Amino acid sequence: MNEIQHGSHDPIGAVNGHDVITGKPIVPLGHHELRRADIDPKAAIRAERQVAAMFGLSSVLIVTSIIAFIVVPNDVLVILPLIGPVNANHISVGFSLGLGIFLIGTGAIHWAKKLMPDVEITEERHAFASSAEDKAAFGEAIREGKSASGIGERKIIRRSLLGSLALFPLPLIVFLRDLGPMPKTRLRETIWDKNIEILTDATYRPIRPEDIPIGGLVNAVPANLLKIEEEDGNLNERGKASIILVRMAPADIVSQQGQGWDYQGILAYSKICTHVGCPISLYQQRTHHLLCPCHQSTFDLADSGNVVFGPAARRMPQLPITVNEQGYLVAASGFKEPIGPSFWERG
């Protein structure tokens, strides 16, 4: 006798073996299989002990995690198989806590599955629509309230109320105005200008033409950047003025954005991608292609920085360069077109 007979009577929602709503044939709930723990007291006790063991071990592990937190040093690495070097405190706290929490879960579920009743219960489900009377009463209440307030007839009240309610959110939007400045010409300008010295990025040293071999690439910034970063305390100008210098055999240069904008085969281009503004520095010497690591826009630096592939729509702006009296590379002027991603007013 390992099963309980449910009987073959119709479940709730079925009559004569058919769903009252869909009319489809309904198979009654079948036999319920009893579990080991339902019929064998020994099995029940075993299950009880298993559950308690999980809860007990969980307590031990949770206490372990506290002890580990206090005792295990935070500056020692241990090497675990497969996982590699890990912080001793992190791994001991995390592992004991994680397993401790996990065991609360397995204990509770084991308890429910082995020892709590597992007979399926059928509950009635009610239709969602309210009765016609309820709906009518509701409609009546709405109408009554409406006529009591007079919002229907008193047009002047209704309209003036709607007017002020429509205006009410406006100040909340207008007051956001001081979140930032107007764009003005900010996106069109960089701090590059005539005779601004070109410095290597990171080490900030001026560059002589002979420092750059053919095929070489140098990341660079304008000399006036450092002072501005110090004053403004932000990286805004760096985000616009960063450039790369590349040198190629003058014969390899197919075209430039302006006559004589290079210096003996050294070309200066904006580093900021014209797509969405990632800084670019993946340069392939052989093809003179510059590839953006974000969305793979590719520019041909030997050919005016034109787009040869990818989602960028505009060429890389070129910075005209020359050398100053001391023989260091300088800008011959600022950029002649906006650098970086497009914007509505760019034109």
CB nearer to another protein: pick between 155 and 295:
295
Residue with tokens 């914007």: 343
For the CB of residue 115, give the shortest distance to another protein in the complex, in Å.
Answer: 9
Judged by CB under 8 A, the chain residues 298 through 327 that form the site for another protein are: 298, 307, 309-314
Distance CA 142, CA 155 (A): 18
Write phi, then psi, for 82 (nearest 5 degrees): 75, -35
Does 204 sit near another protein (CB under 8 A)? no
Judged by CB under 8 A, the chain residues 3 through 32 that form the site for another protein are: 6, 11-14, 19-22, 24-30
For the CB of residue 273, give the shortest distance to another protein in the complex, in Å.
Answer: 8
CB nearer to another protein: pick between 138 and 155:
138
The distance of Cα 116 from the centroid of its chain, to the nearest Å, equals: 43
Closest CA to 5 of 32, 37, 38, 36: 32
Judged by CB under 8 A, the chain residues 133 through 192 that form the site for another protein are: 176-177, 179-183, 186-187
For the CB of residue 342, give the shortest distance to another protein in the complex, in Å.
Answer: 5
CB nearer to another protein: pick between 108 and 141:
108
Distance CA 28, CA 316 (A): 73
H or E segment to which residue 245 belongs = strand 243-247
Question: Token digits for 31?
Answer: 């036999």
CB nearer to another protein: pick between 155 and 186:
186
CB nearer to another protein: pick between 140 and 345:
345
Judged by CB under 8 A, the chain residues 205 through 264 that form the site for another protein are: 219, 221, 233-236, 238-240, 242
The site map against another protein for 72-111 (x = CB under 8 A) is: --xx-------x--xx-xxx-xxx-xxxxxxxxxxxxx-x
Segment contacting another protein (CB under 8 A): 124-132, 206-214, 248-256, 324-332? 124-132
Distance CA 91, CA 65 (A): 10
Distance CA 35, CA 46 (A): 13
Segment contacting another protein (CB under 8 A): 40-48, 192-200, 326-334, 337-345? 337-345
Question: Token digits for 116?
Answer: 């709590």
Q: How far apart are the first and last CA of the chain?
A: 85
Residues in the chain: 347
Q: Say if CB 3 and CB 33 are below 8 A apart.
A: yes
Does 282 sit near another protein (CB under 8 A)? yes
Distance CA 197, CA 241 (A): 12
For the CB of residue 180, give the shortest distance to another protein in the complex, in Å.
Answer: 4
Segment contacting another protein (CB under 8 A): 118-126, 154-162, 210-218, 258-266? 118-126
Distance CA 339, CA 244 (A): 13
